[in-house]
Structure 1
């Protein structure tokens, strides 16, 4: 089994060319998006893949997950990227 770990976080750098109407999230919206990240990711991955989250997150400004799967790294990275984009979050591979 492969194990890939990621850290999701929120950053606001203003509107962009790709999203000119992007607005800053409130602290509650950020907390909700971070909490939804592992749940949404679990729904996006193929069967037989699990998303593990630590019982206590290392900090309140990010969400850490580990994806346990038979899939290759590139395909999981792509799924994580799509999930992060849908929640207006950024990610870092750990």
Structure 2
């Protein structure tokens, strides 16, 4: 089993070419997106992984964030390919953390 640890967070960096109407989210909206992440990841990984999520906290950069761990037989690159669209769909960013 491989353990993959991430920190998901929201950072407003303005509109993008893909989302020209993008507006900054409120703290309540960000908290909701971070809450939905657990369900999204559990749904996408299904029986192929154990997903564990931590509490929503304000990180050292001042962003609302949530740490999550995925235990799976997938290698890191495959796991990231599954995680990235989940983060994108919720307008979140993610950093892979070391063990």
Which of the pair is proportionally richer in strand? 2
Give, in angstroms, the shift of residue 47 of structure 1: 2.0
Cα distance in 1 between the residues matched to 2:89 and 2:56: 23
Cα distance in 1 between the residues matched to 2:57 and 2:25: 18
Q: Cα 1:66–1:37, aligned 2, differ >3 Å: closer, same or farther?
A: same
Structure 1: 4+ residue segments shifted above 6 A:
none
Q: TM-score, normalised by structure 2?
A: 0.85
> Is 1:11 matched with 2:11?
yes
In the alignment, what sits opposite 1:31? 31
> Is 1:49 matched with 2:52?
no
Cα distance in 2 between the residues matched to 1:53 and 1:30: 16
The gaps in structure 2 that reach 5 residues or longer are: 59-63
Give, in angstroms, the shift of residue 52 of structure 1: 1.0
CA RMSD of aligned residues (A): 1.4
The gaps in structure 1 that reach 5 residues or longer are: none
Structure 1 residue corresponding to 2:57, chosen from 59, 62, 68: 59
- Number of matched residues? 92
Cα distance in 2 between the residues matched to 1:22 and 1:68: 33
